[in-house]
């Protein structure tokens, strides 16, 4: 695969590829209160990629933080993932958490990974085969993670950036949350945004459950006047920032990274980080 995004037609045509692994990256719950249309169902042969319980740093008090290189390796091997695996990831909210899984694999050195545009809903709309979700076991894979630190930024780096302005932070939350005009869905978080950041809500980059065509995405990103600076994407917990990051990867040449702690860290009530 030479693209970060594939459609249902592509997946149906390649379903019998022996190197293909389909991952179901659906979240257990979501702060956007989005409703699942097809609960308890997965694409036939898909493997559950449990972000919350298997692929997050359990020692962190922040949600969805990247696991260590070793923990990611072990969890992937348990899923039977190999170094030569062609990975397609989807979720049951069309395109919500799957970009997070895509970026995790990119961060861990696996380039042959793509998101299924439209997710489970589009797969079922086009009569794709499904099965009930159940327990699974696999022969151990030989995947070895190689963590790329340039793809993840932390709060200290973004604090320094307020003065240096070497990076540009793109906030994928709603405009209301960015401007502190809407309450945060998580408790004890202040309103506002990182000083110097700009706002591009992930919801504006989708239509009918899919990412907008590249031509439309380019118009949106061009209007942001982002220049050539490296971009760092942020949201509430590092999840939907990856939707905006994925869209950007289709039309931008900038270096791209994720602020993993996102607003769950920066907006914390202790006031450790400045807010605009």
Phi and psi at residue 134, in whole multiples of 5°? -155, 180
| Consecutive H or E run containing 220 | helix 214-223
Pick from 262, 253, 274, 152: which is nearest to 202 by CA? 262
Give one DSSP letter per residue of 87-130, joined into a string. EEEE-TTSSSSHHHHHHHHHHTT--SEEEETTHHHHHHHTT--E
Let me know: does 62 contact 154? Beta carbons within 8 Å.
no
How far is residue 78's CA from residue 76's CA, in Å, rounded to a whole number? 5
Taken in order 14, 15, 16, 21, is the CA torsion positive or negative?
Answer: positive
List active site positions.
235
How far is residue 74's CA from residue 72's CA, in Å, rounded to a whole number? 6
How far is residue 256's CA from residue 248's CA, in Å, rounded to a whole number? 8
What distance separates the 2 farthest-apart alpha carbons in the chain? 53
Q: Which residues pair with 155 in a beta bridge?
A: none
Let me know: does 100 contact 28? Beta carbons within 8 Å.
no
How far is residue 240's CA from residue 96's CA, in Å, rounded to a whole number? 6
């Amino acid at each position: 695969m030479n693209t970060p995004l594939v459609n249902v037609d592509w997946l149906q045509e390649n379903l019998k590829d022996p190197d293909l692994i389909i991952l179901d990256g659906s979240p257990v719950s979501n702060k956007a209160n989005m409703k699942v249309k097809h609960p308890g169902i997965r694409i036939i042969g898909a493997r559950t990629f449990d972000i919350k319980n298997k692929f997050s740093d359990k020692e962190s008090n922040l949600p969805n933080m990247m696991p260590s290189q070793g923990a990611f390796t072990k969890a992937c091997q348990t899923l039977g993932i190999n170094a030569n695996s062609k990975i397609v990831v989807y979720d049951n909210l069309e395109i919500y958490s799957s970009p997070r899984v895509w970026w995790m694999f990119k961060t861990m050195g696996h380039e042959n990974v793509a998101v299924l545009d439209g997710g489970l809903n589009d797969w079922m709309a086009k009569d794709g085969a499904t099965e009930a979700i159940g327990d699974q076991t696999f022969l151990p894979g030989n995947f070895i993670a190689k963590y790329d630190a340039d793809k993840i930024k932390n709060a200290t780096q973004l604090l320094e950036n307020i003065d240096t302005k070497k990076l540009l932070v793109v906030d994928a939350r709603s405009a209301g949350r960015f401007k502190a005009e809407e309450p945060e869905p998580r408790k004890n978080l202040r309103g506002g945004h990182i000083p110097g950041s700009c706002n591009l809500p992930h919801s504006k980059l989708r239509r009918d459950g899919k990412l907008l065509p590249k031509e439309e995405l380019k118009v949106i990103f061009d209007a942001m006047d982002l220049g050539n600076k490296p971009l760092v994407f942020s949201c509430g917990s590092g999840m939907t920032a990856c939707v905006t990051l994925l869209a950007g990867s289709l039309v931008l040449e900038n270096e791209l990274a994720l602020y993993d702690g996102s607003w769950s860290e920066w907006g914390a009530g202790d006031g450790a980080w400045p807010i605009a």
